[in-house]
Structure 1
Amino acid sequence: MMFTSVRRSVPAGLAAVLVAGAIGLGATGAEAASLGTLEVSPATGTDTSGMTVTTSGACPGPATNLIVSVTGSGFPSDGKVVVSNSPIGTYQTSPAGGIVVPLTETMRDYANEAGFQTLQGRYDFTLTCRGAFGSATYGDFGAPIWFTSNTAYQNTDPVPSVTATTTTLAATPASPVVAGTSVKLTATVAPNTAAGTVQFKDGTQALGSPVAVSAGTAALTTSALAAGSHSLTAVFTPSDAAVYAPSASTALPYTVKVKPPTVVTAPKVTGTVRVGSTVTCSATFGGATSSTYAWLRDGSAIGGATARTRTLVAADYPHKLACRVTATNSGGSTSATSPAVTVARGPALKNTTRPSVTGTAKTGKRLTAKPGSWKPAATSYGYVWKRDGHAIRGGTHSTYVLTRTDKGHLITVTITAKRSGYANGTATSKSVRVG
């Protein structure tokens, strides 16, 4: 089996000790480059005999010699040489052209030489291509092994690597929304082969139960986000933590506004709908913090009519009257308009002071009618003079000149009080006898 190489240059001082007949060590060696991997055989074992390392290829042309070292728990940080500076030609060649280098001792032997007894964890072999003399090196081949106990080893990592995951979160519709809106949260987990569940959260509060991931996505729809600012996240938990790592999305800011007011009871004009009466615009809204009113005559707003109540005037008769209510809160406004109602004529004017007749009640004299007082006040009057209760022809003015026909009879005047938008009121004066 081939392994990823670990680059390691043998320190110049260590090489100087090991090189047989080394001379001229003052030259500076070039930085070793990774040339390939080593195959360790047997791939697994109990460390009862020496291993063999085989390079994945040949050393570069300038190299004539090699050194093999090992690093790991218990060994010096710069490595222990397990094969000293040796000519490459003394070793066999593999079918692929690699160099086959037997190790003459076991790992336990090398550990004893380094001054420790327990082999554990990862150890890395490095074969360095070099010259016979000096410190120049021409690259490395490398391979790791793992001791799972003090005697057993293998050339594969006993702890399999865990694949990292990423989780991203999206929300639709986009923020801001009003309270009660159905919001869909979608988490995307990569790689999409990662199985597990996603827990959606609002801050530290879980939103519903964990949702299974399918083809890299998990989704949750909720209408429970309250008005205010939210920090939404999606947390992925893998089904097999030995294969995939957990991950969490970055927080997604999300704003939910107060829902605009809702109509609870539709607007309605209440009260007696006739001139002179006061009517009320009755309506109720849920969630409103304030309300405004507008009165409409035949569908058009009446200038200045913005109170909840309205006293109907003559101009309202006989038109269609409605009211519009606009309720508002921080989330917006909602308007509703009442059905229109027809404004009726006001009641007949009411006489509060009886009409009277002034002047001398004799033939040839002029009598004058006083209309009295009316509520509401009249704006014009009509007159009918009567003789013994019967209308006198032509007697329709505010004054009347008595004739010989009137002598000895009772004269009265009937007043008709008039005001726009109201029914007429009538009242009759006391009678006077013409002498």
Structure 2
Amino acid sequence: MNVLLIGSGGREHAIAKTLAKSPLLSTLFVAPGNPGMMEIAEPVVLKIENHQAVIDFCRLQAIGLVVIGPEVPLVAGLTDPLVAAGIKVFGPSQAAAQLEGSKNFTKQFCLEHGIPTAQAQSFDEAAPAKAYAATRPLPIVVKADGLAAGKGVVVAATHAEAEAAIDQIFAGGIGGNGLLIEDFLEGEEASFFALCDGTSALPFASAQDHKRVGEGDTGANTGGMGAYSPAPVMDAAMTERVIDEIITPTVKGMAARGTPFKGMLFAGLMIGPAGPKLIEYNVRFGDPETQVMLPRLQDDLLALLLACAEGHLPQKPLHFADEVALTVVLAAKGYPEAPQKGSEIRGVEKAASLPGVSLTHAGTRREGTKLLADGGRVLNVTGLGKDVAEARERAYAAVDLIDWPEGFCRHDIGWRALQRN
């Protein structure tokens, strides 16, 4: 089977590496891909926003499945015309992608279906938003309604900070034209993933992300500075609660609306004293969570994604290695505000050759034989080990072999899991 994978980040590189193991795969095309994928996939120049061009390419190359990695083309509705053209797609319809595309939609959906989440109000003007914020206990969360590349959330410690965040979102057009003001949830964050075929959900894996740019979870929110899988807080009992209270009602509710969800449902959770609450939904594989989940997967990923697209997921549990995976994100200095591009990175091959290490490219480009930084988050270095400590040790040993003075990383990835031991 020929497969077209859309995307260019570390998530897509991890997906590509896992799809390449499938006996079902003939040729893997990536649009646009990145330098790390070139040994296992054929790069394609496609304007993804030109849906007809994607359809034409799929017909020309007899593509059996399109896998859409990033959220932007999903929210823009790429799945719908492909499916209408008879092309199988892993990824939800535009209507179903509203679960990520609009936080206001998801909040209302949760209220309608009794899904536990934080109390919130939505606003499309600054003055009433500030008035409401002034009445809520601190800290308070201000969220842009639409897509904001992981940066449209501010946890305000004061009402003045909340007002500044409201002004910034409305003035900068971040995440569309609206926002939510949400009560702060206490507890431990976790990410939980489930494959969905429109009518049923199959638990996939859990992970724990590190969103803040600085050590000790300080500084600005980012797209993620590191992760590990599985998340210790997601034991069997908590996993069952998340499925029963959050995932299953969502799948049933979306089907009842006439907008069945097919693809990967990614629940960002807060695990507190009263149990799990939904922080937000994403409608695709996470980044950097994918980089720690897929190295542990023992089943055929291509077969699973195809089953989602065709609407007949298996109902037997998936197989994951008992090992723990931990990934460290190497980012360009200046990230997330103004990452510096164009600096040379050396030592990547040496780092990737270490036992128990998997390296994925996130924001790189080639210039002749040189590998250059070309994004904010640039490389993901993943270690596999018998526990978090060993996985972390392997990941940072590989990081130490990478010669890139213009880059940086957090050195405390996995701290919460280590504190449990």
What's the TM-score, normalizing by structure 2?
Answer: 0.19
| Bigger radius of gyration | 1
Which has the larger helix fraction?
A: 2
TM, length-normalised to structure 1: 0.19
Higher strand share: 1
